Amino acid sequence: MAYEATPGLVETVEAHGELTLVVDPARIVEACTHLRDVEGFNFLSDLSPTDYLGWAEKGVAGYYGTRPGRDMHRPGSQGMARVPDPKPKRFAVNYHLLRLADDPVRIRVQAWLDDREEIDSVVGVWPTADWFEREAWDMFGIVFRGHPNLRRILMEDDWEGHPLRKDYPIGGEPVRFSGEE
């Protein structure tokens, strides 16, 4: 197993030609520091959380125009022959790392979090993470402990809710027309 010396490593997954290291969220900074200093991943390409609320349940990835959506447990006519594997927790925080050197490698570090579970900030490891973590807080409400400036970045400061969560409704925002009072 590659990168087995990574602190807090839970498992490594290889899919679609990409390597994912699933890491214990409590030891994320330790793991990232190790990957940067020992394995040479000096470049944080991206930090993208994903909300898996409702994953593999009825009513998601729905058929067009049907309100309750399609039952994921009944295979569709085009693919969808199997129900997706359940995920361990609600949120996945994905760190896409790059070894920017003559022997470039990309890996993904993944940490799983429940709602309201916090994770340590990696701003001290890669300064790039500053805005990425602010965006993750803004869009998903994931708290990064130790972030020096964890404020909303894309939404307004007094915005309520975190728009990219799966339970944040689309069209929930009231529309006001200029003629209305």
Partner 1 sequence: MESTAQIYEGSRIPSPIPTVLQVDPDKHDLEDILTINFGPNHPSTHGVLRLVVDLDGEMVAGLSAVIGYLHTGFEKTMEQKTWWKCITYPERIDYLSFQTNELVFVLAIEKLLGLETPRKATWMRMCLSELNRIHSHLVWLGTSALELGAISMFWYTFDERDAILDLSEMVCGTRMHTRYFQAGGLAEDIPPGFYENARTFCKQMSKAVDEYEAILDANAIWLKRTKGIGLLSADDAIALGQSGPCLRASGVNWDLRKNMPYLAYDEVDFDVPVYTGGDVYDRYKVHMDEMRQSVRIIAQCVDRLEEMEGEPWIADDRKVVLPPRHELHTSMESLIHHFKIVTEGYSVPEGEVYVVVESARGEMGCYVVSDGGPKPWRVKFRAPSFVALEATATCMRDAAVADMIAIVGSLDGVMGEVDR
Q: How far is the CB of 115 from partner 1 (least distance, A)?
A: 17
Q: Does 106 bind partner 1 (CB under 8 A)?
A: yes
Between vectors from CA 138 to CA 95 and to CA 43, what angle results, nearest 5°? 25
Interface residue with partner 1 among 43, 71, 117, 143 (CB under 8 A) is 43
Residue 161 CA to residue 55 CA, distance in Å, equals: 20
- Regarding 130 and contact with partner 1 (CB under 8 A), the answer is yes
Q: How far lies 175's CA from each of 30, 108, 161, 179, 180, in Å?
A: 46, 39, 17, 12, 10
55's CB contacts (< 8 A; 6+ apart) are: 84, 86, 87
Q: Which is nearer to partner 1, 31 or 140 (CB)?
A: 140
- Asked if 33 touches partner 1 (CB under 8 A), the answer is no
> Is residue 86 close enough to count as binding partner 1 by CB under 8 A?
no
Distance CA 153, CA 136 (A): 9
> For partner 1, what does the binding mask look like between residues 136 and 175, x meaning CB under 8 A?
---x--------xx--xxxxx------xx---x-x-----
Q: What is the residue whose two structure tokens read 């996945």?
A: 92
Task: Name the one range near partner 1 by CB under 8 A: 3-11, 26-34, 44-52, 111-119.
Answer: 44-52
